[in-house]
Every structure is written in C-alpha cells, then in structure tokens.
Chain A
Amino acid sequence: MKLRTLTLGLLSASALAFAAHAESITIATVNNGDMVRMQKLTDDFTKANPDIQLNWVTLEENVLRERVTTDIATKGGQYDVMTIGTYEVPIWAKQSWLLPLDKLGDDYDVKDIIPAIAGGLSVDGKLYAAPFYGESSFVMYRKDLMEKAGLKMPDAPTWEFIKQAADKMTDRANGVNGVCLRGKAGWGENMAFLTAMSNSFGARWFDENWKPQFDQPEWKKTLQFYVDLMKADGPEGASSNGFNENLALFQQGKCGMWIDATVAASFVSDPKASKVADKVGYALAPDTGLGKRGNWLWAWSLAVPAGTKKADAAEKFVSWATSKHYAELVASKEGWANVPPGTRSSLYANADYQKAAPFAKMTLDSINAADPTHPTVKPVPYVGVQFVAIPEFQGLGTTVGQLFSAALAGQSSVDDALKQAQDAATAAMTEGGYIK
C-alpha cells in the first residue's frame, strides 16, 4: 500500500513537472543584492506583460558560468535570459551564441548606456548584452588615518604615493594594515586586480602576435611592486584574501586603503555593517604616469542566448530590467542609493542619486577611465581590461593567479613565478593555435 501510494505520488509529481511549461521564460542569475532586489520587483513587469511568466534560477558564479556555457554550447535551450559578464560577451557573440539586442524598444535610449560599458558588450557595433550593473575599481581609504599620517590623498594618486601612504599608515601593533589587496588565486580574483594593475605599469599579457609577455621588465616591475608593498604593509595571510575577506577587514577598520570594486563603496559606507562608514574617502585607481590606470571594468549583463525559443519575451524582459524606468522603480521602493550603479549616464546626472551616493562621481570617473578596447599602454590583440577575452583565459588566468599567489605567500620568488607564468602562457597559446 505504502509502495503504491509512493509510486502514485511520484508519477503525479512528474506529470506536474511536464505541465508547468506554457508561457514562461527562465532567467539564470547570480546571487547578489541587486539581482535579489530585481526578483522582488518583477510584479511591475508581469503586470505590464501578463502573458509572460518568469522563472528564476540562481546559481553560484562559477556554477552559473559552467551551466550556461554547457547550455549555450549544446543549444540546450534551458535558459531564455542569462546573466553574464563582460568577459563572456565578446567571446560568445563571436561564436553566434547570443542574439543581438536590437528590439529593446523606442524609449530604451541605448545611447544613455555609459560608452565604456557599451563598448565592452558590443561586437562590430552591435549590442549583445544589456548592462544590469557596472563597476570599475578605485581606491577606498580611511580619511582619519590619512590625516594622522600627515598626507592628503590626491584624486588621481600614483603607485608611489600609495606605497608612501601605506608605509605611514601601517600600525601592526594596533592591527592596522596600510593596504589590503586581493591575493586569492583565480582569474576573477587576484588576476583581475593584477592584470588591471599591470596595465598601469605598461605591461600586457600578449604582444600583437599573441606572444606572452611575462618575461618583459614591465611585468617584473608590477609583480615586484605588489609583493613588496604587501609584505611591508599588507595583512597577514593576504594570499588567501579575495573581495569578501578584504571587505570584512576594511569594515572592521583593519585597512588604511583598499583598492577594489567600486560596488564595495556602498558596503564600506553602510553604518550598519561598517565600523568606519563615516571615515571613507575615494580616489581613482593609481597609475605610474604612463597613461593607463590600474582600474578594471566589469558589468553583469543580461543576454539572450541564440538557442531560446522565446526571444521576443526574453528581450522584453531584458529591456525592462535595464531601463531607466527600472532605476526609477527601485528608487521609489528602496531609495536612490539602491539603484544598480554603473550603467547609465542619466543616473549620474541625477541630483537625488548624487546626494544618496557620495561615491557616485568617483565611480563614474573610474568607469570612464577604463577602456576595454584599448586596455594597455602598448598595443594588444585582445579586448578586456582585467582579463583577455579569449576562451583559454579562464584556465590560464587561474594558473597564473596561483603562481602569483604563491609568490605573495613567499613560496616562490617573483622571478620564478614570472618564468613559470611565461611557460604556462606559451604552452596554452601554442595549444590554442595562437602561436607556433
């Protein structure tokens, strides 16, 4: 009897699974504050579009990347809208895996999208993903400690100044580290920071012929500077610190400066979470006077995969979620400070937003200071500021990240790490057919 009941239950449940398909679009996304907020506000969309039902799939970033890649490469058609980053968009668009977004509606105002962001999401002038929120990186610093050190942070500091300030601010007896930087290995962790930093030192991953450049003096200068700075003024165990670890350190008052994503500004200035909320100042990412700054550019964006059977409904949703109307909706429900940042110029011209977000101007200036199509001092054959938009980069970036993280931890020398990085990159490029 029990067995029969269970079997019946199983069969009816399975039947239900098949019945639930009708007019719905499935959206794959990552779990972060802005995305969660959007899920709560979708009534506004479904009221205007009663024939479209929304299904959400929230996944961990790496799992999401793997799932959507599998789905899109096999044209599985499981997702109608995907949340992807500026790394994927140029690669996938070139593979014809994404549909160009040309039906976003008359009042969408594509030109309002910040040019640097739009450039990273376009291929041959066509927009393949609409930015949901964008970010760059900048310096967050403790105004009180800076004053105590007798220094004044310029709006656009140099790396030399950062080193000088870090030396003066470091007070290990009281648990204060002059500077906190990413050290955890990963193409999106330490390599996002180090690749952007290397741009400001005149380094590049590859020359015009895809020859790896880790054997060049610019990379040596970058890595040596980073390792020396962190050894003298960084926190203990820095080689395992990523965004979240450094965020916690800064919020607890243990960092004089932190160079990381602009989106962190809303966390460090939140008095509920941060002990130093009223003492934080912002400045552009440092440079060395070569014309490029050490800041990156990233946008979590919504794209429509070529395998979808509901392209119109999907694009309607993308248009709604990335529109000016959506920004106003968030502002009316949760205040201007919670509007997804970094995508539209009009947001930064809005007086209410400027008042609610004191870091707004510096965020916009940082985004504008990054150029994904010309990221380096010397010419390169790739797109991307803190990454190289080729499929091989995820694996190679993480391998190099591990080598550099080991150098930071003192397990290998800077020279050894660079030599091994050069070998790994040469092998990957040879295997990929870029060089012979």
Chain B
Amino acid sequence: MARAVTTQHKTIATAAAWIVALLIFFPILYTIITSFKSEQEAIQGFALIPSGTMESYAEVQAQSGYFKFFLNSVILSVGSTLLAILIAVPAAWSMAFSPTKRTKDILMWMLSTKMMPAVAVLFPIYLIFRDSGLLDSRIGLTVMLMLINLPIVVWMLYTYFREIPGEILEAARMDGASLWNEIIYVLTPMAVPGIASTMLLNIILAWNEAFWTIRLTTTNAAPLTAFISSFSSPQGLFWAKLSAASTLAIAPILIMGWFSQKQLVRGLTFGAVK
C-alpha cells in the first residue's frame, strides 16, 4: 500500500515537474515554432504546427550580418565574466574568511545597487561614456556589464566560500602558504564548482542583457540583443522574422546551458543540499 502511494506521488510529482518545465519553456518553444512559419501564418493565430518554411531565416541572414553581433556577444559576456571573477574572488574571500561586523552591511549595500531601475542612471552613465570616448566600444560595455553583474557574482561566491571550512585555510597557513598561494592552490580548487556555476550564470545574464547593450552601442560593439531589436518593424509583418532572429540569438546560450546544466544545477543548489 505504502509502495503504491509512493509510486503515485512520484508520478504526480513528475507530471507536475513536466508541466512547470513546459510552462517555463513554452515562450521559447513558441518563438522557435513561429520562426518556421511564414509572416501570414505567424499573425493568423495560435498554431503549434508550422509550415516549416525557412524564408524568415533566409531574410534575417540577408538583412544583417549575424556573425559580427554573435562575436560581440561572446566577447562581452565572456570578457565581463572573467573581469567580474577577477574582482569578486578576492572580495568574497575577504568577506567569507575575515568577516568584520560591517561585512553583512557591505554585502547588502552591494546588492542594493541592483534595486534601482537601470534607466534611472542612463543619463549619467551615458555622459561618462560619451566624455571618455567609450560609447559603442567593447571595452566600455565589458566594464559596464561586469559592474552590473558584480553584486550577484560576489554574493554567489561569498555563499560558496562560506561552505568551505576555514580550518583548511588555516592548515595551509600553518604550512607556510602565502596569501596568494592560499587563494590559488587551496581555496580555488575547492570552490571550482561554485566559481564555474557563477561564471555560467554570469555569462547567461550578460548575454541576455538588453538595456545597456542596446543603449550604449551603435555598430562596432552591438551584440545579439541589438540584432534582435533591429527586426521589429513599424509597418508590415515581422513576427516570423523577429522569431527567427531571436532563435538565432538564443541558440548559442541555450546550447551552452544544455551542455553545462549539471554544473549549473549543482552550483545553484550548492547551499540547499548541504
């Protein structure tokens, strides 16, 4: 009897998980389906079976060079992530292993910068970028994306580092390890899963960032978000083309997420399973 209940529960839980997963994934799925429709089909109403035409992809390819935008997306997301990790590892290390009574306040203050809508600082940031010649430059945007994701990176790394027993670091110190050696050879290897999942999440966030990447670029540094935005048309039908552009833009990050999902899930649930 008990066994039957367990099986039943399992079935219900599995079904529920599938339904939730499908609900979350559905907008992306429908975007992909729409990209294989003609413009007329796309606007005609809800339909899950497309005619399978590739005309939108052909038009999107003909209209703008995908590769240039793709390359910028890679450079910006990977670059900003590496830069953020370089800064966040020492910061999280000091807060996790040498906390002071203000550490919590500092962490909260860092997070508070995420509580303001980005548009509130559009003009000051725009003027700084203009005056320092950083508008439409990859360097400027890399720094910008690093800055906006830094609080999350520090918070995630701090949580992972807290899980590592301080005694191990103490033992390393006893053996005469310098501070640098301690971080590189003792702390980092133990925190690799945490750092990896932080990096993955940060790459995804930077890849999808659409406020600053559209507003601070024109041509040279414009990533895939700008590519998608260019297919919305004030007149004429554009849903299928827009869907094709979106599918092309999210495909790389979706594939990367698929392959690294084990790392990602492990890293994200690190604290919960302990």
Which residues does chain B contribute within 8 Å of A251, judged by CB atoms? Answer: 40
Which residues does chain B contribute within 8 Å of A156, judged by CB atoms? Answer: none
Are B235 and A32 in touch, CB under 8 angstroms? yes
Are B126 and A74 in touch, CB under 8 angstroms? yes
A413 within 8 A of B: no
CA separation between A61 and B236, bound complex, in Å?
13
CA separation between A60 and B82, bound complex, in Å?
31
**Contacts A17-B139, A67-B214, A70-B126; A31 near B231 (Cβ below 8 A):** yes
CA separation between A36 and B63, bound complex, in Å?
7
**Contacts A18-B137, A60-B229, A261-B235; A26 near B219 (Cβ below 8 A):** yes
CA separation between A77 and B63, bound complex, in Å?
25
Are A63 and B130 in touch, CB under 8 angstroms? no
CA separation between A66 and B186, bound complex, in Å?
50
Q: In the complex, how many angstroms separate the beta carbon of A19 from the nearest chain B beta carbon?
A: 10
CA separation between A304 and B18, bound complex, in Å?
54
Are A17 and B237 in touch, CB under 8 angstroms? no
Q: List 16 A-B contacts (CB under 8 A).
A: A6-B78, A31-B230, A31-B232, A31-B238, A32-B236, A33-B235, A57-B219, A58-B64, A61-B232, A70-B122, A76-B126, A78-B135, A244-B43, A244-B235, A244-B236, A247-B236
CA separation between A251 and B233, bound complex, in Å?
18
B51 within 8 A of A: no
Which residues does chain A contribute within 8 Å of B137, judged by CB atoms? Answer: 14, 17-18
A232 within 8 A of B: no
Closest chain B residue, CB of each to CB of A58: B230
Measuring CB to CB, which residues of chain A are less than 8 angstroms from any residue of chain B?
A: 3, 6-7, 9-10, 13-14, 17-18, 20, 26, 28, 30-33, 36, 39, 55-61, 63, 66-67, 70, 74, 76-79, 243-245, 247-248, 251-252, 261, 263-264, 267, 273
Which residues does chain A contribute within 8 Å of B215, judged by CB atoms? Answer: 66-67, 70
Which residues does chain A contribute within 8 Å of B78, judged by CB atoms? Answer: 6, 10
B44 within 8 A of A: yes
Q: By the criterion of a CB under 8 Å from any partner CB, how many residues of chain B are at the interface?
A: 40
Q: Which of B211-239 contact A (CB under 8 A)?
A: 214-215, 218-222, 226, 229-238
Measuring CB to CB, which residues of chain B are less than 8 angstroms from any residue of chain A?
A: 39-40, 43-44, 63-64, 71, 75, 78-79, 82, 122-123, 126-127, 130, 135-139, 142, 214-215, 218-222, 226, 229-238
**A-B contacts besides A13-B75, A78-B218, 11 pairs, CB < 8 Å:** A3-B82, A13-B138, A17-B137, A33-B236, A57-B226, A59-B214, A244-B238, A248-B237, A261-B235, A264-B235, A273-B39
Are B75 and A9 in touch, CB under 8 angstroms? yes
Which residues does chain A contribute within 8 Å of B220, judged by CB atoms? Answer: 17, 20
Task: Select which of B40, B136, B214 is within 8 A of A78 by beta carbon.
Answer: B136
Task: Select which of B138, B218, B222, B233 is within 8 A of A32 by beta carbon.
Answer: B233
Q: In the complex, how many angstroms separate the beta carbon of B120 from the nearest chain A beta carbon?
A: 14
**Contacts A33-B236, A244-B236, A263-B235; A10 near B219 (Cβ below 8 A):** no
Q: In the complex, how many angstroms separate the beta carbon of A153 from the nearest chain B beta carbon?
A: 24
CA separation between A110 and B127, bound complex, in Å?
37
Task: Select which of B122, B130, B136, B237 is within 8 A of A247 by beta carbon.
Answer: B237
Q: In the complex, how many angstroms separate the beta carbon of B239 from the nearest chain A beta carbon?
A: 8
**Contacts A7-B82, A32-B236, A243-B235; A13 near B136 (Cβ below 8 A):** no
Are B218 and A17 in touch, CB under 8 angstroms? no
**Contacts A6-B82, A74-B126, A244-B236; A14 near B229 (Cβ below 8 A):** no
Which residues does chain A contribute within 8 Å of B123, judged by CB atoms? Answer: 70, 74
CA separation between A17 and B223, bound complex, in Å?
13
Are B138 and A17 in touch, CB under 8 angstroms? yes
